[in-house]
Amino acid sequence: MTDYLKQLERLKRHYIQSIGHYDSISFLDLAHALRVWTEVKNGIEAVYNKAVFKKGIVTNKLKTIFRNAEFAYAFLPEGITTSAIATGEAEGREIVSGPNIEQFTWGGLVKIEANRDLTLAQFFLIYRSLSNEELSLLFNESKNIPITKVSFSKYMDSPAAYFEFFGNQPKQISNEELIKRIANEYEASHADVHDTGFVLNNCFSEPIKRLMDYRYARLPLPYFILLHIAKSIIDGLDGHV
């Protein structure tokens, strides 16, 4: 039987480490610590099934902005704060980047404190210019994302990010699948998977690699999402498991 309290303390340790420092090792360690929680959904529901986990609902009006363009979008209810800086990059924390940027629109809900701590609540990068009407709609809709509360299992099934990379690929990835893909694709949980017979690639393999190329302050978008998932689990389950 899983010792949920021990796993929660383990997650807290990796979360605290990750909000203060970013590198590939701390990032993978956080993914590995979260991997356990993708496997205990039913067990958590049995001991604590309260709807306390916050889920953002992307409106249809907002989705129309993303049509006919490559994009990446993530909404993190109440945001996630980090004092980490990408290795070797002490400046330029406002920089948004993505692959093959030419004509694009970017933004989100971001706050940078005087001590340079960064809070990210929303991220989007759209590979086309928007009209004034679309910009107004994007601003209004992104400021008013509805939030609902769900149980742990429904939270893990909730979208972590929406995207369009064209081709035969999914259009969104859940919190659970994002954790699994990072843990598996980057060997956070399975070393040398090609020699173990483990099935590595699935429909999310390429999208997760693309999402890793989208960055704010030179920190990959999935880093912020994993931090937010970890904080949500800690806040939601602390004192209840």
Q: What is the pLDDT of residue 110?
A: 87
Residue 139 in this model has a pLDDT that exceeds 90: no
pLDDT digits (tens, 9 = 90+) for 41-73: 989 999 999 999 999 999 999 989 998 888 999
Cβ atoms 65, 126 nearer than 8 A: yes
Angle, CA of 225, 206 and 102, to the nearest 5°: 80
| pLDDT score recorded for residue 201 | 59
76 closest CA partner among 172, 159, 164, 173? 159
Overall domain count for the chain: 1
Res 192: pLDDT: 52
Percent of the chain with pLDDT over 90: 57
Grouping H, G, I as helix, E, B as strand and the rest as coil, residue 165 is: coil
Across the chain, mean pLDDT equals 87
Whether pLDDT at 9 is above 60? yes
Q: Give CA–CA dist 108/119, Å, rounded.
A: 11
Global pTM? 0.90
Say how far residue 172 (Cα) sits from the centre of its chain: 11
Mapped onto helix, strand or coil, the DSSP state of residue 80 is: strand
Q: Beta strands of the chain (E only): which ranges?
A: 53-56, 71-82, 96-97, 105-112, 118-126, 147-150, 159-164, 172-174, 215-216, 219-220
What is the full DSSP assignment across 90-138? -S-TT-EE-TT-SS-EEEEEEEE-TT--EEEEEEEEESS---HHHHHHH
Q: What is the pLDDT of residue 172?
A: 95
Residue 194 tokens read as 């090609």
Q: Is the pLDDT of residue 105 over 90?
A: no
Range from 126-140, 158-172, 193-207 carrying the lowest mean pLDDT: 193-207
Q: How far apart are CA 33 and CA 140, in angstroms?
A: 37
Sequence-distant (6+) residues with CB within 8 A of 107 are: 124, 138, 142
State pLDDT tens for residues 179-234: 999 998 876 454 554 444 444 557 888 899 999 999 988 899 999 999 999 999 99
Top pLDDT among 99 and 218 is at 218
Structure tokens given for 12: 């807290």
What is the extent of the structural domain holding 138?
4-237
Check residue 39 and give its pLDDT: 93
The predicted structure's pLDDT at residue 234: 98
